[in-house]
A and B are shown apart, each in its own frame.
Chain A
């Protein structure tokens, strides 16, 4: 069965520091991969997505993610975190052969001044 794992429940970084949020998936082939962000009291917003091609994907708000097939990972990165990046981040996978869609359990990001 497909699954998505976000190993870090909570991460704290200083403003201006770099960020990497981890995401691992379990799937027989390469799924569609997504990162969503949920600001406090808000719904989820798509940051970026990967279907095929270049394994480094650029998204909104200065985020990027890299697909590594050998590690079944799709980690989210940002070179310099801003206080407004404090939010919950969800990795998700989509089944290319159908319409199933699975979310990870989320990583909560705290940004300290």
Chain B
């Protein structure tokens, strides 16, 4: 039982390049989330998914797209990376969307955009 895994762990992009971050969970959770973590700002929700084939915007969705083609996977895409997207990205999953349910987090992806 690996929990929540993220690929890659580190990445450096040039401005304008694109990339996809992969999140996978093996807990059969319906709900998955992408956060970004920046110094002094805590975690901010980018997008989330309430089930296979459905996604929704979070607090800071601009510049990102997501897809949930399979229940266990949640992809975060950057079509044209910008230096402002330099951050640590965390994926999480939970059994329920209700805020009372624990979210399980992956180890994070550190992205630098130069």
Interface bin, chain A: 20 to 34
Count of chain B residues with a beta carbon within 8 Å of a chain A beta carbon: 19
Within residues 23 to 80 of chain A, which ones have a CB less than 8 A from any CB in chain B? 31-32, 34, 36, 41-46, 49, 51
A43-B4, A101-B45, A105-B40 known; A96 vs B99 contact (CB < 8 Å) = yes
B102 to A99, Cβ gap below 8 A? no
Complex Cα–Cα for A105 and B44 (A): 10
B100 to A94, Cβ gap below 8 A? yes
Query: Nearest chain A CB to B8's CB is how many angstroms away?
Result: 14
B34 contacts partner chain A, Cβ-Cβ < 8 Å? no
A46 to B102, Cβ gap below 8 A? yes
B99 to A103, Cβ gap below 8 A? no
- Report which of B42, B92, B97, B103 forms a contact with A104, defined as CB distance below 8 A: B42
- Report which of B90, B98, B107 forms a contact with A99, defined as CB distance below 8 A: B98
Chain A residues with CB under 8 A of B42: 4, 90, 103-106
Chain A residues with CB under 8 A of B90: 43-44
Within residues 37 to 54 of chain B, which ones have a CB less than 8 A from any CB in chain A? 40-45
B43 to A41, Cβ gap below 8 A? no
Complex Cα–Cα for A36 and B44 (A): 15
B99 to A44, Cβ gap below 8 A? no
A95 contacts partner chain B, Cβ-Cβ < 8 Å? yes
The 4 A-B pairs with the shortest beta carbon distances in the complex, nearest first, are A94-B99, A43-B105, A103-B42, A103-B43
Name 15 extra pairs, CB < 8 A, besides A42-B108, A103-B43: A9-B40, A31-B99, A32-B100, A41-B108, A44-B43, A46-B102, A90-B42, A94-B99, A95-B99, A96-B100, A99-B97, A99-B99, A100-B99, A101-B45, A103-B44
Q: Which residues of B contact A (CB under 8 A)?
A: 4, 40-45, 90, 92, 97-100, 102-103, 105-108
Q: Which residues of A contact B (CB under 8 A)?
A: 4, 9, 31-32, 34, 36, 41-46, 49, 51, 90, 94-96, 98-101, 103-106
